[in-house]
Amino acid sequence: MSESEIQHERVVIIGSGPAGWTAAIYAARAELEPFVIEGGISRTMIPGGQLMFTTEVENYPGFKEGVDGQALMMEMKDQALRFGTRVLTEDVVTIDTSQHPYRIVTQYDSEILADSIIVATGANANWLGLDNEERLAQSGGGVSACAVCDGALPHFRDQVLAVIGGGDTAMEDALYLTKFAREVVIVHRRDELRASKIMADRALEHEKITFAWNTVVTDVLGEDVITGLKLKDTVTGDERELAVGGMFVAIGHSPNTGFLQGVVDLKDNGYVKTPVAWRTETSVPGIFAAGDVMDDYYRQAVTAAGTGCMAALEAERWLAHGGLEAHAPAAEAVAGD
């Protein structure tokens, strides 16, 4: 296929969560005719991102009664489509930045040339890998990977809640859940915490928090909603059941950046590095990052949407000021590195 026959876009947005669709809305209203590669369907991810597995979102502004996660994402998508956004439902395999326009290759060998790119592929919560865990997480049955997102929901109040993990995130989640739970049980596979001393001390001293040390979850119990956990002692091998009304997995997230290896600079933890604070441009001129793929701190839908707006505005201004041609010295410096 000749260069002239390949689809050529001014702005390509990779990803379809709050960051991706917000970027598309802003880019479309700026008459950049954005093209969104929204991703394919896998065992743990579908187009729309993590909110597609959330049945009730109560902390997104503008919905005083809360909103279904899938409904929120479809509203965002429809809003972007209203302004002329076009969509391809595939995953991106690689991006070739050796020449400009950049060349994007998708899983079914589609090739797209892009003057600018916004990466908004998000991050995947790390799960325990149990079948019933995944099923109940997807159906809203009391299993979650975001205590701040879901912990205040009515069905978690006055319940015994389990938090799985031993790092700072697990301690933060447990402490947050004490506002609503009758008791919070931290299940940790070791006999000491990985969390920082200050966070560990806060959890250890809290009257509502107890610990299940040297313990792993071997099964999640319940049909429509979680009713308990099957636990195994890693030292003795003894098994027991713990009745709970909710389980929050806090064993980290993995950013969806596999296709970006060697394309843009990544942090040690795999998240996209944005060299300038409060900016979304990556190490490659004309490639921007938004949402959880570059945010390893907040990881909220509303902050993802905010950075999607930022990325679209930056892409618009970058193109308006001449794109790569006007930034050739910077591009050459990056290539030289």
pLDDT tens-place string over residues 187-196 = 999 999 999 9
With contact defined as beta carbons under 8 Å apart, do 14 and 119 qualify? yes
Separation of alpha carbons 309 and 330, rounded Å: 24
Active-site residue (options: 91, 149, 173, 295): 149
Residue 53 has what pLDDT? 73
The mean predicted confidence, pLDDT, of the chain is 92
> Considering the domain 127-249, what is its CATH architecture?
3-Layer(bba) Sandwich (3.50)
Return the closest-CA partner of residue 117 out of 326, 319, 322. Answer: 319
| Cα torsion through 189, 173, 300, 194, rounded to 10 | -40
With contact defined as beta carbons under 8 Å apart, do 34 and 12 qualify? yes
Instruction: Kindly tell me if the per-residue pLDDT of 206 is higher than 70.
Output: yes
Residue 58 has what pLDDT? 86
At residue 290, what is the residue type? Answer: A
Instruction: Kindly tell me if the per-residue pLDDT of 336 is higher than 50.
Output: no
- CATH 3.50.50.60 residue ranges of the chain are 3-124+253-336, 127-249
* Other beta carbons within 10 Å of 213: 16
Return the closest-CA partner of residue 192 out of 174, 173, 213. Answer: 213
Instruction: Kindly tell me if the per-residue pLDDT of 216 is higher than 80.
Output: yes
Residue 27 has what pLDDT? 98
Instruction: Kindly tell me if the per-residue pLDDT of 283 is higher than 70.
Output: yes
pLDDT digits (tens, 9 = 90+) for 39-94: 987 756 788 888 887 778 888 999 999 998 889 999 999 999 999 999 999 999 99
Q: Which CATH number fits domain 3-124+253-336: 2.80.10.50, 3.40.718.10, 3.30.750.24, 3.50.50.60?
A: 3.50.50.60
Separation of alpha carbons 156 and 68, rounded Å: 17
Residue 51 has what pLDDT? 86
Separation of alpha carbons 84 and 117, rounded Å: 17
239 burial type by CB count under 10 A (0-12 exposed, 13-18 middle, 19+ buried): exposed
**For residue 264, how many C-alpha atoms fall within 13 Å in the half-sphere facing its CB?**
30
Active-site residue (options: 91, 115, 146, 295): 146
Residue 46 has what pLDDT? 81
pLDDT (mean) for 189-215: 96
What pTM did the predictor assign? 0.79
Residue 334 has what pLDDT? 46
DSSP-derived secondary structure for 131-181: HHHHHHHHHTSSEES-HHHHTTSGGGTTSEEEEE--SHHHHHHHHHHTTT-
**For residue 178, how many C-alpha atoms fall within 13 Å in the half-sphere facing its CB?**
16
149 is a catalytic site residue = yes
Active-site residue (options: 91, 115, 150, 173): 150
146 is a catalytic site residue = yes
Residue 4 has what pLDDT? 66
Return the closest-CA partner of residue 17 out of 275, 292, 219. Answer: 292
pLDDT digits (tens, 9 = 90+) for 94-141: 999 999 999 999 999 899 999 999 999 999 889 999 999 989 998 889
Instruction: Kindly tell me if the per-residue pLDDT of 333 is higher than 80.
Output: no
309 is a catalytic site residue = no
